[in-house]
């Protein structure tokens, strides 16, 4: 139930907040609730991934992509994610999730997400994903064109290139 309330809150707030450029940072405020906790009394590592979905949802709607996704029945798909936990989130602690589009290539968007408490990173994650239509994958340049963005991708950081290369080298069919 708690996740549904968060989902509706994020959707409502994203529709009420100002539109953002695809290269801007989305910031969403959250709090750690008792059902977010693991047996060690801090936020469960799986919950971070669920909250990241909500941050990407806010980003997509505020960047103006929501209407295109719904009209064209595009599905946002995550291919992989990596996360680095730096500190714990305690019960009832407030935190922010910062989400930004880091870069893209011909197929993939790379999204960076930071869990922040008092301007300090608690966890940092990177997500590789795409949008799929009924006809197949939608190139990132086509997605961005829908919101009037025609710039080239920022340079792909070396650590992201290494991550993507490592994934390709270990594909299991």
> In which band, very low, low, confident or very high, does the pLDDT at 54 lie, cut at 50, 70 and 90?
very high
Per-residue pLDDT of 122-153, as tens digits, reads 999 999 999 999 999 999 999 999 888 888 99
- The pTM (predicted TM-score) of the whole model is 0.93
**pLDDT above 90: residue 53:** yes
How high is the pLDDT of residue 162?
95
Q: How many domains does the chain have?
A: 1
How high is the pLDDT of residue 173?
63
**pLDDT above 80: residue 92:** yes
> In which band, very low, low, confident or very high, does the pLDDT at 110 lie, cut at 50, 70 and 90?
very high
Region 44-49: mean pLDDT is: 96
How high is the pLDDT of residue 146?
86
CATH number at residue 52: 3.10.129.10
Tell me the residue range of the domain where 80 lies.
2-169
The per-residue DSSP string of 91-111 comes to TT-EEEEEEEEEEE-SS-EEE
**pLDDT above 90: residue 114:** yes
Dist CA 91 CA 101 (whole Å): 29
Contacts of 31 (CB under 8 A, 6+ apart): 92, 93, 94, 95
- Residues of the chain with pLDDT > 90: what percent? 77
Q: Give, in order, the Cα–Cα distances in Å from 78 to each of 35, 67, 93, 94, 110.
A: 25, 20, 28, 26, 10
Per-residue pLDDT of 13-35, as tens digits, reads 888 888 999 999 999 999 999 99
**pLDDT above 70: residue 1:** no
């Amino acid at each position: 139930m708690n996740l549904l309330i968060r989902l509706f809150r994020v959707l409502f707030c994203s529709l009420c907040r100002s539109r953002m450029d695809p290269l801007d940072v989305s910031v969403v405020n959250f709090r750690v609730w008792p059902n977010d906790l693991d047996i060690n009394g801090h936020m469960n590592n799986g919950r971070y991934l669920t909250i990241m979905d909500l941050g990407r949802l806010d980003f997509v709607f505020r960047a103006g992509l929501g209407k295109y996704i719904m009209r064209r029945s595009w599905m946002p798909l995550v291919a992989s994610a990596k996360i680095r936990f730096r500190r714990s989130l305690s019960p009832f602690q407030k935190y922010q999730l910062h989400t930004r589009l880091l870069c893209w290539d011909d197929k993939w968007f790379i999204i960076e997400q930071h869990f922040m408490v008092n301007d300090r990173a608690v966890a940092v994650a990177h997500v590789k994903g795409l949008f799929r239509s009924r006809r197949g994958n939608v190139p990132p340049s086509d997605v961005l064109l829908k919101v009037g963005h025609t710039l080239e991708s920022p340079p792909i950081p070396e650590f992201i290139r290494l991550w993507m290369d490592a994934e390709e080298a270990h594909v299991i069919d």
